[in-house]
Amino acid sequence: MADEKKGGFLSDLFAPVAGFGVTFATMFRKVATQEYPEVKWPTQPRFHGRHQLNRHPDGLEKCVGCELCAWACPADAIMVEGANNDDADGQRFSPGERYGRIYQINYLRCIFCGLCIEACPTRALTMTNFYELADNNRADLIFTKEELLAPLQEGMAPAPHPMVAGMEERDYYLGKVTEATPAQREWVAAHHASEDDKGEQA
């Protein structure tokens, strides 16, 4: 009887701290989790992150303003407004008849399903591995064309500018254009210089 009382007394005494046994046992183990954002896991190659509007090797945009991505989006997160390329002075944004004059993706709505990528006929729209899109301002989560356009790579000239001389639209998709030609670079340099002069006169 005395042993039972003694056992009951000890169990009652240590009962409040018995639950900490698991805590104490795990305090000195190696932590399995990684501290974000100090340590970041690399994403998989096919991860669906932020979108990107791609360019041709000479710098012209691949988007032809067809709006198929907007039609395919189940969340109504994409807005595209196409416009005709101006052939009067050779000022083109894309090799096609049209280009995406306005392109916006609302990441407050986007569900990253990738249906817009499948709908794009020119591979103009792809998804990157970038996923850090949190913001405290709703307006900053509506990405514009300028934010979505892929950066200029070596051998590219900023659009608008004429197509490669002697090439048609299909030649761009057949991989016959590898970089901007000297004539395209000269046109861009002259065009930008004239725009700068107009800005100074204004």
CATH code of the domain containing 170: 3.30.70.3270
Q: What is the pLDDT of residues 110-162, one digit of tens each?
A: 999 999 999 999 999 999 999 999 899 999 999 999 999 999 999 999 999 99
Residue 105 has pLDDT above 80, yes or no: yes
Residue 202 lies in a domain: no
H or E segment to which residue 148 belongs? helix 145-148
Give me the number of domains the chain comprises: 1
| Average pLDDT over every residue of 77-93 | 87
> Do residues 104 and 139 lie in contact, with contact meaning Cβ atoms separated by under 8 Å?
no
Domain assignment present for residue 39? The answer is no
On whether residue 197 sits in a domain, the answer given is no
Q: How many Å apart are CA 32 and CA 2, to the nearest integer? A: 47
Amino acid letter for position 131: Y
Which range is most confident: 31-35, 87-91, 115-119, 161-165?
Answer: 115-119
Query: In this structure, is residue 23 part of a structural domain?
Result: no
Q: Is residue 38 part of a domain?
A: no
> How confident is the model at residue 195, as a pLDDT?
58
Confidence of residue 24 (pLDDT cuts 50, 70, 90): confident
100: pLDDT confidence band, cut at 50, 70 and 90? very high
157 lies in a domain? yes
> What is the predicted pLDDT for the residue at 3?
52
pLDDT over 90 at 76, yes or no: yes
Q: What is the pLDDT of residue 98?
A: 92
Asked whether residue 201 is assigned to any structural domain, the reply reads: no
Tokens of 176: 């016959």
* pTM of the predicted structure, to 2 decimals: 0.77
Is 194 a member of any domain? no
DSSP 111: -
- Give the lowest-confidence range in 60-64, 117-121, 127-131, 190-194: 190-194
Residue 104 has pLDDT above 70, yes or no: yes
Q: How confident is residue 202, by pLDDT bands cut at 50, 70 and 90?
A: very low
Lowest mean pLDDT among 3-12, 76-85, 171-180: 3-12
Domain residues for the domain of 143 are 55-175
Q: How many angstroms separate the CA atoms of 53 and 124, rounded?
A: 5
Structure tokens at 9: 């007394």
